[in-house]
Amino acid sequence: MPAIIVAVANQKGGVGKTTSTVNLARALIETGKRVLVVDCDPQSSLSIVTGVDPQALRRLEEQGKTLYYGLVKDVPLAELVIEGSPALIPASIRLANAETEIVSPFGVASILKEKLEPLREQFDVILIDCPPTLSLLTVNALTAANTVVIPCKTDYLSIMGVPLLIDTIENVRRRANPGLSVTGILPTLYNARANHDAEVLNELRNAVAHKRIEVFPPVNRSTAFDKANAEGRAALELFPETPGVDQYRLVAARVLGERRG
């Protein structure tokens, strides 16, 4: 059966997209799934956190083995995969050039989808870590995906952008990917002692209730995630007792329940 493709998306930066991608990948691997993570962000955070140091990333870029070359230069994505658990397709800052070298957001919205297709028989789940913009790269990820997971920091600035992202998802669904669903919103960096965070979480739930979008229990703010990222590992693996980290297993279960396309 072909892989489920999951876009991990939010146009706001600093909301825990990469951390969520890494930990969701670990939760899926724990269930025995073969997982590929795709770094679709020119900032390359997922590549670095997954263990590719900046010098190695520069070498990969010089060798033409980053996502940019798959999207723009027609290198098969299978040639870009770095084996591991999870496997990785890395990105470099050159990926930002794809925005100008690919012409029309919806005319070329299916490029990533088409290029991922040969890999879908090799993996059970493919996770795409999206850039913090509603850009052509994000549109490509949403067009390729079966479903979307939305990490969202529990502050007002972060939740203000959620309706715009949902509008973009609905637009992509209408124009390019009618089967696209939303697995849910994952509140991140949550401070259980702060009234502000509790108020924002409640407002977030109210804001999407009419869309019938699930808001998962929050992942607590913790230095365990930073420490795990520095080690190139998932907090779910290194610090399994961290409050809230188990929510990634819940999200993984929901993802696996999504209809495969």
Report all structural domains of the chain as residue ranges with CATH numbers, in order of start.
4-256 (3.40.50.300)
**Residues 143, 178: Cα–Cα separation, whole Å:** 9
Instruction: Tell how many helices (H) and how many strands (E) occur in the chain.
Output: 13, 6
Residue 240: asked if its preceding bond is cis (omega within 30°), the reply is no
CA distances from 90 to 27, 57, 258 (A): 20, 8, 26
CA atoms within 13 A on the CB side of 118: 10
- Structure-token pair, residue 172: 């992509």
Return the beta strands (E) in the chain as ranges.
4-8, 35-39, 87-89, 125-129, 147-153, 181-188
CA–chain centroid gap for 22, Å, is 9
- Structure-token pair, residue 144: 């390729």
**Pair type for strands 147-153 and 4-8:** parallel
**Of the candidates 95, 108, 5, 88, which has an alpha carbon nearest to the alpha carbon of residue 41?**
95
- Structure-token pair, residue 158: 């972060």
- Is-contact 60 92, C-beta < 8 A? yes
CA atoms within 13 A on the CB side of 5: 26
pLDDT of residue 24: 97
**Residues 248, 148: Cα–Cα separation, whole Å:** 14
pLDDT of residue 138: 95
pLDDT tens series, the chain, 261 aa: 899 999 999 988 889 999 999 999 999 999 999 999 999 999 999 999 998 999 999 999 999 999 999 999 889 999 999 999 999 999 999 999 987 887 545 468 889 999 999 999 999 999 999 999 888 999 999 999 999 999 999 988 888 889 999 999 999 999 999 999 999 999 999 888 888 999 999 999 998 989 999 999 999 988 999 999 888 889 998 898 888 889 999 999 999 986 444
Strand order of the β-sheet with 125-129 is 87-89, 35-39, 125-129, 4-8, 147-153, 181-188
> 7: helix, coil or strand?
strand
CA–chain centroid gap for 243, Å, is 22
pLDDT of residue 158: 86
CA atoms within 13 A on the CB side of 223: 0
CA–chain centroid gap for 232, Å, is 17
pLDDT of residue 261: 41
The reported pTM is 0.94
pLDDT of residue 109: 82
